[in-house]
Structure 1
Amino acid sequence: MLPGMNALLEKYSSVGVVGLGFPSNQFKLQQPGTESEVLPCYQYVRPGGNWTPHDEFHVFGILDVNGRLAHRLFKSLKDSCPGFSSTIGSKSVLYWEEITTADITWNFGKFLVDVNGNPRYRFGPSVPFEEIYPYVDELIAERDAAQP
């Protein structure tokens, strides 16, 4: 998935699109360690191969995206873009309490936010970045049409 984000930004960063990544350890404990270990893990382990983020892909520290301790950004995103599945997953691999159908279901859940900061679209973790391109195009066209 991370190479897909880089490809999306290669295509769209010249028109102002940026990517924000928020690692979470709430899904099968797949993001253990400290914040200083996040980028080296991506570079050498998953996806590995010396992967580095695109200049416009900003990776933040590890945080909770679900449950009582979810970061307020993710509470807001989920309120604006409701869940799309009534099935979240097995409690044995989910590490938060108060599981709801609005929760992010796994790593690499994606949200598109417009130029005004309004969350507009939500995509599940298995949706390839290429399938998001038409929605990015739509938001860019809206932005450009609104400019004088």
Structure 2
Amino acid sequence: MDGRGARRNPYELTEESPVYVISVAAQLSGLHPQTLRQYDRLGLVSPDRTAGRGRRYSARDIDLLRQVQQLSQDEGINLAGIKRIIELENQVAALQARVAELQAGLEGAAATLRQREAAVHASYRRDLVRYEDVQQTSALVVWRPTPRRTP
């Protein structure tokens, strides 16, 4: 089952489906297979493994390999820096997912609160009259105290 509660087709290919062997992944990413093995050892791009321990790369892994290559060659960032960038991007994505989850929970709680408030309002007695505050006027009232009587 996926996160939405519906059953997924086990044969459905997604961006995360591990389908490419290392030679195909190397060709698709424009890198040498040994480079892919090194990236795996360093934890930069960690593909899924088969029962026989063979690497299987997904489309997302291929995109990540291209990103590592671009950061390394075009931006001149070393592999340790690239690893930290990837970790931070993963952390940001996880936090964004958590924020979306919390927002959904907050919206659900607000809807429940509105329903409960409506139920309370609906339960008011209809024979009661709502008190309306008297409007203020500009009328002037003069007060004159009466003199005190002495005993």
TM-score by structure 2 length? 0.22
More helix by share: 2
TM-score by structure 1 length? 0.23
By relative contact order (CA 8 Å, sep 6+), the higher-ranking structure is 1
More strand by share: 1
